[in-house]
Amino acid sequence: MVEFQQGFNGLVNHGATCYMNTLLQALFWTPDFRSMIYNWYSTSDASGNDENDITYQLNNLFRDLEEGEEPANPNKVIKCLGINNTCKQEDVATYFSLLMKKISNIQGLGQKLLQLFESEQVCVVKCNECQQEDKKTTKLLQIPVPIQLTGSKHFNSVAETFQTFKAEALCDENQVYCDICEKKCDAKIQYYRESPPEVLVLQLKRFCFDSRSDSYVKDDAPILITKKLEFECVRTSICSLAKDLECNQSRIVNNLLKLKNPQDSGDSHTSHSNAFRNVSLVS
């Protein structure tokens, strides 16, 4: 007989669904997300009993996690997401995207939920000759984080990876065509975050293509996840403004990083995923 700590509930693992359980636990421990799901089903706008409605299934599962006396069963959420082979390990980031896509289709709720995770990535390319700037903005629900730069150097922490968003020179064979100069020119490229999301979701890019084996392999290097991150934010031009994300301002949902402990071990022999409430920094 396994004894469970009072006030906490786990999730049943259907073979190799730890990746999904990790995602569901993190969403449950995100207060704003959980509250929106609950509030949606306290109004007359909710469908109420549609088994294909992902928010209906999440509402029931969250209630079981909060009020149940035994591990909650996520089988209906798994079925709703179209997962047929529960013995196959999948990528948690892929199913976070799928879950958000399903939620986005729900009128009156979808966009409100997505706004919790949305951030805007700004790419600015500036011509060195005419100083013309080309700015493109993309909305992201999760921010990809590299484990290493090209070569063998690994990052020691997530905060260190954010340095890769600083300006880089585009020259020689990497020159870009400038419409003003009507030729290829040297330029600078830089990525910014227009504004930090309310709930920050990070995706460690642990899998990279290995030309020797002609396959993707997992990078098992450990990486430190700190409780404070610094973003580069843009307001008017290429100049940047550093903005601190304190714990009480932006909750960091770290379970998409496949954490084993606050210093992610990145075990190369398993893809087992765990969620830790103390690491998720929910307030």
Look at residue 256 and tell me whether its pLDDT is greater than 50: no
Position 239 scores a pLDDT of 30
CB 116 within 8 A of CB 197: yes
Q: Is residue 26 part of a domain?
A: yes
Distances (CA, A) of 110 to 35, 36, 103, 114, 224: 14, 10, 5, 6, 33
Residue that wins the pLDDT comparison between 279 and 144: 144
Q: Is residue 242 part of a domain?
A: no
DSSP string, 246-283: -TTTSEEEGGGG-BSSSEE---TT----B--HHHHT--
Q: Is residue 38 part of a domain?
A: yes
Give the confidence band of 221 by pLDDT, cuts at 50, 70, 90: confident
Q: Is residue 29 part of a domain?
A: yes
SS3 content of the chain, % helix, strand, coil (to 5): 30, 30, 45
| Domain range for 26 | 9-117
Distance CA 140, CA 231 (A): 15
CB 276 within 8 A of CB 262: yes
Query: What would you measure as the largest C-alpha separation in the chain, in angstroms?
Result: 74
Q: Is residue 174 part of a domain?
A: no
- Can you list the positions of beta strands (E) in the chain? 119-127, 133-140, 143-146, 168-170, 176-178, 183-185, 187-193, 199-205, 207-210, 215-218, 223-224, 229-234, 240-245, 251-253, 263-264
Q: Is residue 64 part of a domain?
A: yes
SS3 assignment, position 56: helix
pLDDT tens per residue across span 87-128: 888 888 889 999 999 998 888 888 888 999 998 888 899 999
Pairing between strand 229-234 and 183-185? unpaired
Domains of the chain: total: 1
Position 37 scores a pLDDT of 92
Q: At what angle do helices 18-28 and 31-40 cross, to 10 degrees?
A: 80
Question: Which of 185, 258, 247 has its CA nearest to residue 220?
Answer: 258
Question: Which of 220, 199, 213 has its CA nearest to residue 140?
Answer: 199
Position 153 scores a pLDDT of 78
Q: Is residue 183 part of a domain?
A: no
